[in-house]
Structure 1
Amino acid sequence: MELTTVWFILIAVLWAGYFLLEGFDFGVGILLPVIGRDERERRVLINTIGPVWDGNEVWLLVAGGATFAAFPEWYATLFSGFYLPLLIILVALILRGVAFEYRGKVDSVTWRRRWDACIIGGSLVPALLWGVAFGNIVRGVKLDADHEYVGGFFDLLNPYALLGGLTTLTLFTLHGAVFLALKTDGRVRRHAGDLAVRLGVAAVVVAAGFLVWTQASYGDAGGLVLSGAAALALVAAVVAAHRRREGWAFIGTAATIVLATAALFVTLFPNVLPSTLADANSLTTTNAASTPYTLRIMTWVAVVFTPIVLGYQAWTYWVFRKRLTVEHIPVPSTVDAST
């Protein structure tokens, strides 16, 4: 297998890992005002992801760095053509990270609610726009013979890409609800479990529409198999959530996200960014790749450090595996008006 193909697969794995782990972070943030009835319950929600959310974002940094090093032409075209939506995602992620750190710095209901709004928006916007971005990557964009994007911002807001954004938004929100049901107890657990069942129905409808459209317009046999497996995993997750089997439900939503991401990359290969103007203008794993020497060095670095990163992150999740309840949260001195 050529190193260009190896690194295409590795980048697909990195994105799948990012969506799997950051997906439930986004879901928890989106559901903050829905499940968090008062300050103590909102603290429970935030504490479920508090020890891991910043580690989950490392997957995004590594995916971006790997793309820059392995496929610099892909990176340059993608980040120049998608500049505005990627900038919006970056600003949202920054506000979200700052909000996690600052919401508890002042004992004020107004202060906390303003930062909570940043957490909600900083979770919802990336959950939507990542789907829009990947929808456009699979569909293709207007690339000229120099592999430069010649379309406009509104060209990216086509129906297929918007459906992709709605799909990631619903899947990540469902993933977050299932994660909360798995990581909490008491009223928060019950509310999250009930909400997961309702969200599951919406996710099945939206995701099925997106996967069918993808396979009908751009798919192949490999993508069809993976899409079918993702659909089955999603249905299984909803059934498990209905039966209050939170662990199996989380495995189901996790498998759905990983398989759906894999289906998109399989559908894309050997292109990395198709051109809608002419096939000859498309970026592929061959014409967008770095030199063989660079890829060999990167491969050795990945072989050495990837197990270390995976081991550390697995250890973090193991340490913070306990369920959380409001009994673990002290009563705030400034009480919410809703209590």
Structure 2
Amino acid sequence: MSVADLIAWVLLVLVAAYACAGGADYGAGFWDLMAGGAERGKRTRGLVDHAMAPVWEANNVWLIFILVVLWTGFPVLFQTIFSAMWLPLALAAVGLVLRGAGFALRKPTRRLAGRRVYGAAFAVSSLLTPFFFGTVVGGLVTGRVAPGTPASADAWSNKTSVIAGLLTVAATAFLGAVFLTADARRYGERALVGYFRLRAWGSLGVIAVLAGVGLGVTRDDAPYVYDGLTGGAGLVLVLLAAACALATAGLLYRLATGWARVTAAAAVALVVAAWGVAQRPYLLPTSLTVAQAAGASTTLRWLALVTLIAVVLVGPPLVLLYRLDTQGALRPLTDADLRRAAPGDGPGGPT
């Protein structure tokens, strides 16, 4: 295996990690959007805030890694994507900013009108951002984008792109519902356990319908990737993903929510892996291979070394953070906590 191939696999792993970690966050925002009015959705939004607060910023680390590896290891691919797909990527970037700002500011804001504005920014961006990311992926697999391709609406607004965008939103909704079911059970919110379990099953049904439609569209619009997904290693990965999704549905029925989170994340990660395997040896079917897109060999070797260092230094803290969060050991600070920690406070209270 060449260094370029190794970096390509690293990039695929990073995309899968962001799809799982970031996807669960986007899914939580999706259900925040669907929760209803202020009173009706109060408990749902409270759970979303409580569940996301410890990890939502850390989940975006995966996106930073993706961008660094992409522009350093495969500069031709980076230039091609960001030239031809600048509009949906710009919309996704705006969504990321609005989403983060909305989530960070809605809770400390005291005025109801302000909370509604920030909450709406968070929730709507949680829907639009994954949709635009999905349209970019859909446009890439069709072969409409190649080195030198100018920006055009057709590159990301075709049938495959729209289906990919909807599938991305549905997958994030599925992940979010599964993870929120586990959080509701951990916090003793029995009503919300049933609420999110039903939504996880419903999301899985939507994914199945969209996947069936997507296969039909891809067969005509992206034949190279379609052949890779319906045969060989790609088909094996797709079947494993389907098995994990069905296992998640069964585990949710048994309220084995810890394992359900694992199988749900595995299902999404396996779909990403199937997509990567299906288009080998191309990064852009059928115009740009891994070897053609790779940067200088010296740069790739240094990138491999930096990746190893990042795994050693960043990997364990992230694993520890996720483990503590899933065990319920982390919780956001309350107003009472902040008052107790205020400067000048002694053991007996304010001085």
- Alignment TM-score, normalising by the size of structure 2: 0.85
1:34 equivalent to 2:34? Answer yes
**Could you tell me whether the CA contact under 8 Å between 1:72 and 1:290 is conserved in 2?**
yes
Counterparts of 1:146-165 in structure 2, within 5 Å, are 147-150=147-150, 152-165=152-165
Q: Map of 1:136-215 to 2, 5 A cutoff?
A: 136-143=139-146, 147-150=147-150, 152-184=152-184, 185-186=188-189, 187-211=191-215, 214=218
Secondary structure, aligned partner of 2:283: strand
Letter in 1 for 2:87: L
CA distance in 2 between partners of 1:207 and 1:241 (Å):
22
**Structure 1: how far apart are the matches of 2:78 and 2:51?**
34
User: C-alpha displacement at 1:307, in angstroms?
Assistant: 2.5
Q: CA shift at 1:253, angstroms?
A: 1.5
Whole-Å separation in 2 of the counterparts to 1:55 and 1:238? 28
Q: How many residues align?
A: 319
Give the one of 317, 320, 337 matched to 2:322. 317
Is 1:123 aligned to 2:126, yes or no? yes
For structure 2, list consecutive stretches of 5 or more residues without a partner in the other structure: 336-351
Contact 2:159–2:217 (CA under 8 A) maintained in structure 1? no
Larger mean CA deviation between 105-114 and 237-246 belongs to: 237-246
Between the aligned partners of 1:227 and 1:213, the Cα distance in structure 2 is: 17
User: Are residues 10 and 79 of structure 1, via their aligned partners in 2, closer, same or farther at CA, if it must alter by over 3 Å?
Assistant: same
In the TM superposition, 1:241-256 aligns within 5 A as 241-256=252-267
Q: Report deviation, 1:214.
A: 4.7
1:247 CA drift (Å): 2.2
Which of 72, 94, 100 pairs up with 1:97?
Answer: 100
Q: Indicate yes or no: 2:22 matched with 1:18.
A: no
1:259 maps to what in 2?
Answer: 270
CA gap 1:253/1:305 in 2 versus in 1, 3 angstroms = same
Q: Identify the residue that residue 301 of structure 2 maps to in structure 1.
A: 296
* Cα distance, 1:295 vs structure 2: 0.7
For residue 98 of structure 1, report the CA deviation from its aligned partner.
0.7
CA drift of 1:322 comes to 4.2
- Supply the distance in 1 between the matched residues of 2:265 and 2:216 (Cα, whole angstroms): 20
User: The residue matched to 1:320 in structure 2 has which SS?
Assistant: helix
Say if 1:312 and 1:159 are closer, same or farther in 2 by CA, change over 3 A: same
CA contact (8 A) 2:23 2:175 kept: yes
1-side partners of 2:297 and 2:172: how far apart?
A: 37
Which amino acid letter does the alignment assign opposite residue 293 of structure 2?
A: A
Which of residues 72, 87, 93 is equivalent to 2:90?
87
Residue 268 of structure 1 pairs with residue 272 of structure 2:
no
Letter in 2 for 1:2: S
Whole-angstrom distance in 2 between the partners of 1:131 and 1:65: 20
Q: Report whether the alignment pairs 1:65 with 2:64.
A: no
Report the equivalent of 1:231: 242
Paired with 1:307 and 1:213, the residues of 2 have a C-alpha distance of: 42
Which structure is higher in RCO with an 8 Å CA cutoff and minimum separation 6? Answer: 1
Deviations 1:50-91 (A, max 9, x none): 111111111011101101000000000111111000000000
Q: In the aligned structure 1, how far is the partner of 2:26 from the partner of 2:148?
A: 32
How much does 1:245 deviate? 2.5
- Does the 8 A contact of 2:137 with 2:164 survive in 1? yes
Given the alignment of the two structures, is residue 56 of structure 1 paired with residue 59 of structure 2, yes or no? yes
The 8 Å contact of residues 35 and 188 in structure 1, kept in 2 or not, is answered as no
Query: Judging changes above 3 Å, is the alpha-carbon distance between structure 1 residues 249 and 215 closer, same or farther for their aligned structure 2 residues?
Result: farther
- Closer, same or farther: CA 159–46 of 1 in aligned 2, 3 Å: same
Judging changes above 3 Å, is the alpha-carbon distance between structure 1 residues 310 and 27 closer, same or farther for their aligned structure 2 residues?
same
2:85 aligned partner, one-letter code = F
Provide the residue aligned with 1:334 in structure 2: none
Question: How has the CA–CA distance of structure 1 residues 227 and 41 changed in structure 2, closer, same or farther, with 3 Å as cutoff?
Answer: closer
Q: Which residue is 2:233 aligned to? A: 222
Instruction: Give me the CA root mean square deviation.
Output: 2.2
Unaligned ranges ≥5, structure 1: 331-339
> How far is 1:213 from its partner?
5.3
**Are residues 22 and 267 of structure 1, via their aligned partners in 2, closer, same or farther at CA, if it must alter by over 3 Å?**
same
Taking the aligned partners of 1:9 and 1:27, their CA distance within structure 2 comes to 26
Counterpart in the other structure of 1:333:
none
Q: CA deviation at 1:150?
A: 3.0
1:213–1:231 CA distance, 2 compared to 1 (3 A): farther
Q: What is the CA deviation profile of residues 32-61 of structure 1, one whole-angstrom value per residue up to 9, with x for unaligned ones?
A: 143473435412211201111111111011
3-state SS of 1:287 partner: helix
- Looking at structure 2, the residues matched to 215 and 175 of structure 1 have their Cα atoms a distance apart, in angstroms, of 27
CA contact (8 A) 1:197 1:242 kept: no
Indicate which of 98, 101, 110 corresponds to 1:107: 110
